[in-house]
Every structure is written in C-alpha cells, then in structure tokens.
Amino acid sequence: MQRSTQFNIEKLTEFDAVIDVRTPAEYAEDHIPGAVNLPVLTNEERVEIGTIYKQVSAFQARKRGAGMVAANIARHLQSPYLAERDRPWNPLVYCWRGGKRSGAMAHVLREVGWNATQLVGGYKTYRSAVIEQLGLLPANFAFRVVCGETGSGKSRLLRALGDAGAQVLDLEDIARHRGSVLGSLPNRSQPSQKAFDTALWHALSRMDQLRPVFVEAESKRIGDLRVPDALMQAMRSSPCIQLVLPFDRRLDLLLEEYQHFFGEAEALFAKLDSLTVLHGKAVIAAWKQLAAAGKWRELTAALLTQHYDPAYRRSTAGNFPALSEAIVAHCRDAGAAGIARTAAELLISIESAETPA
C-alpha cells in the first residue's frame, strides 16, 4: 500500500529518519536538515538518463533508469545504514518532485516491512515551505542588533553571548563569510543560497520567540548570499547595541583574523582592485605598496580610516535608525576574557533597562 504525506514542517519530527534519494550534487546544494543521502541515481547516471530522454525516447530512458535505480537501491539495502535497521522503522523519503525516484525507494522499503512514507511534491514542496516561513518567522522575534565599526569584535561578542546562554543568530557563521569585501574565509566556501535559507529557517524554528535574539548588523548581502527581506526588515526596525573597541585593539583583532591574506598577495590585490571605483587608482596603489612591503598594521589602519569606518557610518545611519538610542557596550580588550566580560556586562545592562522601576 502506497503511503504519502503532504509536507508539514512541524511533522518532520514524527519520522524516525528522512531519506533524500536525489543525486549527491542535488543533496549538496540543499536538503532537509538531518536527511541522509541514499541516491537512487548517481550524478552521472541522472545526466545519462536525461540525455536518453531528450535524444532517444521517454520509454528507453525509463527502461535504462529502472535498472540503475534497482541496482542502487539493492546496494543501499546492503549498506550498514539500512542493513542494521530493524522493525518498526518509519522513514520519510523524498526526491525532487515526489515522483519516481522516491516512489521506487519507498515501495521497496515498504516491501521489506518498514513503514516508509513518500513526501508529496518532494524537495520542491519543502523549498516552498522554507521560503514561506522565512517571510513570516522574523516578525515573531525581538531582535537585538549588534552594531560596531569593523574590527570591534561583533562576531566574538555574539559567540560570547551564546556561551552566556543568550539566543544568538550568527548570520556570518551560517553564510561562512565575514560580510566585507575581504570577508571570504580561508578553506571555507559559502553554501548555496538554498542551503543558506534552509540553515536560517532551521535556526529560527528552534528559537524561543519569547526571548530576545542577538544578531549582528548586516547589509542585504553577505558575500554572494542574500539575507531574506523579512529578516532584514525586522533587524532594521529593532533596538541596537553599539559595541566600541579602541582603535589599536581593533587593529590587533583584524591582524589576527585576516592574517591568511599575508601570504596571498594576488588574492588580496584582487579584492583591493574591486574598490577602485570608490577610491581611485592612486589610493589602491598606495594600499598595495603597503601590502608589498609587509606593512600590515599600516595597511589595516588605512583601510579602516579611508574605507571601512566611513562606509560603516553611512550604512548604519541610513539602515538602523534605532542606533541613536543604542545601549553602548565598551570593550577594552577583544581577547576571550575581555569579550566574555563585555557580554556579561551587556546582559546585566539590558536586564536592568527592561526591569520596571
């Protein structure tokens, strides 16, 4: 008997497992959180079937594809993931549109004796639900937006607030990017837009809407990724926190966190070239000379005073109107102890401000 279900985010926890039978490439782009990938077609096999479908016939494509799917399902049944399963077991199975790929896997699993359910509409239905939720969820939270000049330790403060028990939405960590023109992280590529959206939804869906959520002030884009409009709107209308760190300590922090550029002159120069339209060739050439001479502290100071600080003042003034009434958090040292102390003092300050006299 065929078992299927319409997608419902709240009902995902009712299943013992979620099985994504799409190709590894489709799975890597995005998937339901916690889903295991048991592809019934490999990346190459799916391309081959698509080619046969277009160039020969649908019948020949189905015949060839059926053999591939059967062989792959048999292989999965012998794998530890399925071979070690006992009854009862209640997995949810999905593919791209809830069609033949997930139907075949769900059918075989049910024949074995497991209570497998096929997701109607597949990943496409899930993706639509995520987009819908990202348009609705942000309005339900009370955000506290951490603002501060580049190098003031905003990301470190978020982590310290999380360690202290506060709710934190770390957009830059989810996006794997620090948000600026030099913000790409060494050995960490950004996720796809779909995976970024999924991670945002998953993070928000697990948060307590009765407690504040601390988030860093961001622009609409973090590297190559776009922050959902509803989240940006909620952040920009929220109370702000102004984190202040002395200029020399900001230089220390930036030199520590961006030292991967020290040995990558070409990558750094390419990033600097992208700012030519804003600052002109002469300024960019001067910055490159500092880098070539290994004068990293001088270069960092020049980038802050000539580019980042003016850009920050323009951006926050226009996008975060509540900044003028922000709670100011003074941090004297951006090391672990100093940031932890600032986080603790900030939480006490907020609690005092919200407690009725």
Active site residue ranges: 95
The residues pairing with 115 across neighbouring beta strands, listed in sequence order, are: none
Map residue 74 onto helix, strand or coil: helix
Q: For residue 85, which amino acid is it? A: R
Phi-psi region of 98 (alpha: psi -120 to 50; beta: other; left: phi over 0): left
- H-type alpha helices, the chain: 24-29, 43-55, 58-78, 80-83, 100-112, 122-136, 154-163, 171-175, 193-205, 229-236, 247-257, 265-273, 276-292, 296-303, 309-319, 336-354
Dihedral sign, Cα of residue 9, residue 13, residue 18, residue 24: positive
Map residue 32 onto helix, strand or coil: coil
* Residue positions counted in the chain: 357
The residues pairing with 117 across neighbouring beta strands, listed in sequence order, are: 92
Map residue 228 onto helix, strand or coil: coil
Contacts of 203 (CB under 8 A, 6+ apart): 169, 174
277, 273, 276: which is closest to 265 by C-alpha? Answer: 273
Determine the longest span between alpha carbons in the chain, in angstroms.
Answer: 78
- Determine the distance from the C-alpha atom of residue 78 to the mean position of all C-alpha atoms in its chain, rounded to a whole number: 34
d(CA 204, CA 10): 13
Dihedral sign, Cα of residue 315, residue 236, residue 255, residue 275: negative
